[in-house]
Amino acid sequence: MGEIACYCRVSTEDQSLERQLTATSEYAEREFDADLGDLAHYTDKSTGTNTDRSGYQEMVDDARAGVLDAVVVHSVSRICRSISDLERTASRLEDAGVALHIVSEGLTLEPGESDPYQTALFQLLGVFAELEANMAQQRTKEGIAARQQDDDYHHGRPPLGFNKRDGRLVENEQYHDVVSVLNMVEKGELSKRKAARRLDTSRATIDRALHRGELYAIS
């Protein structure tokens, strides 16, 4: 019998893997009667929308090598960020004869078994994950466009994470870090004081950025 794998991913360095590790491990112990010490854990701390991450890739390689029987993830969004990622992952695991268990959504995809309802729901969740990411990007673009039309904006300092170029907002190299940090503050995962320290700014600047949520897809 192969190992049961728990795959966990967070999108920023400040987020903790502990919650996902606990949820997936408890599920594996309950559903597979597995000992905690016998579980294989694969983790990633990264940003972006692709699945070419070291922990993920190691998991896939072990699945193809016949080391794994099943993979447990906390939610669809932890294993993919788009429908193409989801389909690719499901196909890789199915080809390797490995089952995929998704704790939050209560889904199980068994290799060689066709359940039209579960397959449709699985694909639908992937569509929603991709739609959510696309909507966030669109909100950001619309927010920037709205700010461009604001006379006050043109005469003031650029918002956190932006520079001005020819009277227009341009994302600077810090922008994606700003988005990650502000989303964590909004979710209560990070204090404003720690956020300000991480971004080397003031709490007042963090407050102003949070009030301009449309610029960071958190409105």
Chain segment 129-180, per-residue pLDDT in tens? 666 666 656 655 655 565 555 555 555 678 888 887 766 777 788 888 888 8
C-beta separation of 219 from 139 below 8 A: yes
> Is a pLDDT exceeding 90 seen at residue 60?
yes
Whether this prediction's pTM lies above 0.75 is answered by: no
Find the range with the poorest average confidence among 13-17, 22-26, 90-94, 177-181. 13-17
C-beta separation of 147 from 167 below 8 A: no
Using one digit for the tens of pLDDT, what is the confidence trace for 98-110?
A: 999 999 888 888 8
Question: How far is the C-alpha of 170 from the C-alpha of 172, rounded, in Å?
Answer: 6
pLDDT at 29: 92
pLDDT at 51: 47
Map tokens 């060689």 to a residue. 112
pLDDT at 87: 78
Q: What share of the chain in percent tops pLDDT 90?
A: 30
pLDDT at 140: 58
pLDDT at 14: 47
Task: Kindly tell me the burial class for residue 174, based on how many C-beta atoms sit within 10 Å of its own C-beta (0-12, 13-18, 19 or more).
Answer: middle
Mean predicted confidence (pLDDT) in 105-119? 76
Question: How far is the C-alpha of 219 from the C-alpha of 132, rounded, in Å?
Answer: 13
pLDDT at 10: 79
Q: What is the DSSP string of 137-184?
A: HHHHHHHHHHHHT-HHHHHSPPPTTEEEETTEEEE-TTHHHHHHHHHH
Mean predicted confidence (pLDDT) in 58-69? 94
pLDDT interval class at 204 (50, 70, 90): very high
Q: Which DSSP letter does residue 10 get?
A: E
Question: How far is the C-alpha of 198 from the C-alpha of 11, rounded, in Å?
Answer: 16
**List of domains in the chain:** 3-117 (3.40.50.1390), 150-215 (1.10.10)
> Is a pLDDT exceeding 90 seen at residue 70?
yes
pLDDT at 75: 85
Question: How far is the C-alpha of 2 from the C-alpha of 16, rounded, in Å?
Answer: 28
Question: How far is the C-alpha of 39 from the C-alpha of 218, rounded, in Å?
Answer: 36
pLDDT interval class at 48 (50, 70, 90): very low
Cα 14 versus chain centre, distance: 13
**Amino acid code (one letter) for 28:** A
